[in-house]
């Protein structure tokens, strides 16, 4: 039964009992006495010590939390669960001073993030190559919003979604424009070829240009295309100039020839008239004395005619010789142009065959293989870690290394073998009349030679190694299929640790 005395009286009595029982004046002891007098059952098993541990482990970061910790301690002392709960709840809710700090940091971070996003968008714009004023206005608005700390997240999200849609469209446009430009380039190159149907050398150049201008295009390839076009243009104008000079010379000579002929017939006409006149006078002459001056006239006329004819003959011979010289000159010009055409089948850096030259050689060797029923090997080699040479020593040294490889390769190839530059640092060697084992041996021999004939970059000796795949052409197999097998074997050689030759 609960004691009905007022709490103040119970409290006084509890203190007296505490004193009488000589108990330590702890809140717990006081509570026990109070409960006993008030007839309140003592809360059994109140975990005072663990709760104290918890209280000690909590650190107050704000004055409010400090206050709540004091309440907690008091609640534990009072063994009052409700107060313990209230103090803990109030403690955790009193973290407000920390919140603005964290929020401040988050806001600063997201502001930086937005500024970077704005910068990235600005950098991206020229690549989109758009001249759509509406879109540009939209982007400007977006950039302003990104740089304005007052803009809220949902607004930025909406603008970003709109922007990324537009970027997608612009990227598709760019891809289409690129494809169209490429088509246009092909059309122009083909037309250059059409314009000069009779120029075999130009045709060679144009064919290799068409090969060079096929995707995937890199800046390097475009560079190559530009160089080749310039080469075609200068060769064309040089050839045109020289052709025109030769033509003019021929025209002048022809005019002189015709003039000479006219003069000949004119003078022979005049001589004829004079002879006719002499013949008429001779008929009328009755005396030998009268005949003498006439005969003298005839002789003079005949002599003059002979002299004139000899002179005309000499002049005609000179003219003929000149025509022959000019013809020879034109022939030489054609030869030079043919040589230029051959150049179009060669890689300008290494003078190895280029892709077009390789295609022709492969067709020729496959035909030979079928005709003579002899084996034909295709080897594909790729220089190891070439990028490192470029990166460490520069592109020019990389170029010189390619030239070196070609030079050494030529030393261990037979004259019937063909060497082509297949790509950047990839080369193909065609070995007619060679079975697989022998083809592999040739490549291994080249590897050994490269360990003896070093490539020199300044004073530094560089060892160039390569990985290679060799395939022997199968009956009825296409060149492309054999190349594919060689390529696969080369890839496996790379994966197996490089600097080795594998058969495919």
End-to-end CA distance of the chain: 102
Kindly state whether residue 226 participates in binding ligand GTP, applying the rule CB under 6 A: no
Instruction: Identify the residue whose tokens are 């000899």.
Output: 310
Residue among 14 and 225 whose Cβ is closer to ligand GTP: 225
Q: How far is the CB of 402 from ligand GTP (least distance, A)?
A: 6
Sign of CA dihedral 2, 3, 9, 13: negative
Residues facing 382 on adjacent strands: 426, 467
382: DSSP letter: E
Contact yes or no for 338/201 (Cβ under 8 A)? yes
Kindly state whether residue 343 participates in binding ligand GTP, applying the rule CB under 6 A: no
Specify the stretch interacting with ligand GTP by CB under 6 A; choose among 7-15, 147-155, 206-214, 382-390.
Answer: 382-390
| Residue of 477, 372, 352, 360 lying closest to 427 (CA atoms) | 352
Is residue 503 within a helix (H) or strand (E), and if so which, with residue range?
A: strand 501-503
Kindly state whether residue 398 participates in binding ligand GTP, applying the rule CB under 6 A: yes
Contact yes or no for 145/155 (Cβ under 8 A)? yes
| Site size with ligand GTP, rule: CB under 6 A | 15
Residue among 330 and 393 whose Cβ is closer to ligand GTP: 393
Kindly state whether residue 390 participates in binding ligand GTP, applying the rule CB under 6 A: yes
Q: CA 247 to CA 89: how far, in whole Å? A: 107
Residue among 61 and 387 whose Cβ is closer to ligand GTP: 387
Output the DSSP codes for 70-130. Answer: HHHHHHHHTT-HHHHHHHHHHHHHT-TTHHHHHHHHHHHHHHHHHHHHHHHHHHHHHHHT-
Kindly state whether residue 491 participates in binding ligand GTP, applying the rule CB under 6 A: no
Kindly state whether residue 399 participates in binding ligand GTP, applying the rule CB under 6 A: yes
| Residue of 38, 113, 121, 28 lying closest to 78 (CA atoms) | 28
Specify the stretch interacting with ligand GTP by CB under 6 A; choose among 29-37, 159-167, 387-395, 429-437.
Answer: 387-395
Residue among 167 and 401 whose Cβ is closer to ligand GTP: 401
Query: Using CB under 6 A, which of 91, 142, 201, 386 touches ligand GTP?
Result: 386
Kindly state whether residue 488 participates in binding ligand GTP, applying the rule CB under 6 A: no
- CA–centroid distance for 279 within its chain: 91
Q: How far is the CB of 212 from ligand GTP (least distance, A)?
A: 13
Kindly state whether residue 424 participates in binding ligand GTP, applying the rule CB under 6 A: yes
Alpha helices in 196-287 (DSSP H): 200-212, 219-284
Q: How far is the CB of 391 from ligand GTP (least distance, A)?
A: 7
Kindly state whether residue 224 participates in binding ligand GTP, applying the rule CB under 6 A: no
Kindly state whether residue 462 participates in binding ligand GTP, applying the rule CB under 6 A: no
Q: How far is the CB of 244 from ligand GTP (least distance, A)?
A: 37
Kindly state whether residue 387 participates in binding ligand GTP, applying the rule CB under 6 A: yes
Residue among 192 and 402 whose Cβ is closer to ligand GTP: 402
Residue among 212 and 402 whose Cβ is closer to ligand GTP: 402
Q: Where are the beta strands (DSSP E) in 344-494?
A: 376-383, 418-421, 426-432, 455-457, 460-462, 466-472
Residue 312 CB partners (closer than 8 Å, separation 6+): 260, 263, 264, 267
Q: How far is the CB of 384 from ligand GTP (least distance, A)?
A: 4
Residue among 140 and 387 whose Cβ is closer to ligand GTP: 387
Kindly state whether residue 34 participates in binding ligand GTP, applying the rule CB under 6 A: no
Instruction: Identify the residue whose tokens are 């520069």.
Output: 394
Residue among 78 and 390 whose Cβ is closer to ligand GTP: 390
Q: How far is the CB of 470 from ligand GTP (least distance, A)?
A: 17
Kindly state whether residue 383 participates in binding ligand GTP, applying the rule CB under 6 A: yes
Query: Using CB under 6 A, which of 207, 365, 384, 487 touches ligand GTP?
Result: 384
Contact yes or no for 228/207 (Cβ under 8 A)? no
Kindly state whether residue 157 participates in binding ligand GTP, applying the rule CB under 6 A: no
Specify the stretch interacting with ligand GTP by CB under 6 A; choose among 76-84, 142-150, 316-324, 378-386.
Answer: 378-386
Q: CA 464 to CA 389: how far, in whole Å? A: 9
Q: How far is the CB of 173 from ligand GTP (least distance, A)?
A: 29
Kindly state whether residue 3 participates in binding ligand GTP, applying the rule CB under 6 A: no
Q: How far is the CB of 409 from ligand GTP (least distance, A)?
A: 16
Residue among 140 and 395 whose Cβ is closer to ligand GTP: 395
Q: How far is the CB of 424 from ligand GTP (least distance, A)?
A: 2
Contact yes or no for 433/375 (Cβ under 8 A)? yes
Contact yes or no for 429/350 (Cβ under 8 A)? no
Contact yes or no for 500/493 (Cβ under 8 A)? yes
Residue 99's alpha-carbon distances to 75, 93, 103, in angstroms, are 27, 11, 6
**Token digits for 489?**
């074997």
Kindly state whether residue 281 participates in binding ligand GTP, applying the rule CB under 6 A: no
**Token digits for 113?**
């993030």
Q: Residues interacting with ligand GTP, by CB under 6 A?
A: 382-387, 390, 395, 398-399, 402, 424-425, 494, 498
């Amino acid at each position: 039964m609960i004691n009905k005395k007022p709490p103040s009286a119970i409290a006084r009595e509890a203190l007296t009992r505490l004193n009488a029982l000589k108990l330590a004046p702890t809140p717990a002891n006081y509570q026990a006495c109070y409960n006993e007098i008030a007839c309140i059952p003592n809360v059994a098993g109140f975990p005072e010590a663990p709760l104290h541990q918890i209280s000690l482990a909590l650190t107050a970061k704000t004055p409010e939390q400090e206050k709540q910790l004091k309440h907690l301690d008091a609640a534990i002392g009072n063994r009052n669960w409700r107060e313990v709960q209230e103090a803990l709840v109030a403690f955790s809710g009193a973290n407000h001073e920390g919140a603005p700090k964290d929020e401040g940091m988050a806001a600063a971070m997201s502001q930086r993030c937005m500024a970077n996003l704005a910068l990235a968008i600005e950098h991206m714009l020229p690549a989109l190559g758009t001249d759509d004023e509406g879109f540009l206005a939209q982007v400007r608005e977006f950039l302003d919003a990104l740089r304005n700390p007052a803009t809220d997240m949902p607004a930025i999200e909406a603008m970003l979604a709109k922007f990324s849609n537009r970027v997608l469209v612009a990227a598709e446009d760019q891809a289409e424009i690129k494809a169209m430009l490429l088509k246009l380039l092909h059309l122009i190159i083909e037309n250059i070829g059409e314009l000069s149907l009779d120029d075999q050398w130009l045709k060679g150049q144009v064919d290799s240009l068409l090969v060079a201008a096929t995707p995937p295009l890199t800046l390097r390839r475009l560079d190559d295309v530009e160089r080749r076009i310039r080469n075609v243009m200068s060769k064309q104008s040089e050839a045109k100039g020289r052709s025109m000079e030769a033509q003019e010379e021929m025209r002048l000579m022809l005019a002189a020839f015709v003039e000479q002929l006219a003069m000949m017939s004119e003078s022979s006409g005049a001589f004829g008239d004079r002879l006719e006149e002499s013949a008429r006078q001779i008929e009328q002459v009755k005396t030998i004395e009268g005949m003498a001056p006439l005969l003298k006239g005839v002789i003079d006329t005949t002599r003059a005619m002979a002299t004139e004819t000899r002179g005309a003959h000499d002049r005609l011979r000179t003219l003929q010789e000149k025509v022959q010289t000019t013809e020879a000159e034109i022939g030489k010009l054609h030869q030079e142009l043919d040589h230029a055409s051959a150049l179009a089948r060669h890689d300008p850096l290494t003078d190895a065959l280029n892709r077009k030259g390789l295609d022709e050689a492969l067709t020729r060797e496959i035909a030979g293989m079928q005709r003579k029923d002899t084996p034909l090997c295709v080897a594909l080699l790729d220089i190891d870690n070439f990028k490192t040479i470029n990166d460490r020593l520069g592109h020019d040294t990389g170029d010189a290394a390619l030239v070196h490889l070609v030079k050494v390769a030529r030393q261990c190839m037979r004259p019937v073998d063909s060497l082509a530059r297949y790509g950047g640092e990839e080369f193909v060697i065609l070995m007619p009349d060679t079975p697989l084992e022998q083809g592999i041996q040739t490549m291994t021999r080249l590897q050994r030679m490269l360990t003896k004939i070093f490539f020199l970059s300044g004073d530094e000796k560089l060892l160039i190694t390569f990985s290679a795949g060799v395939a022997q052409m199968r009956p009825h197999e296409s060149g492309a299929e054999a190349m594919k097998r060689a390529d696969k074997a080369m890839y496996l050689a790379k994966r197996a640790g490089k600097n080795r030759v594998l058969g495919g």
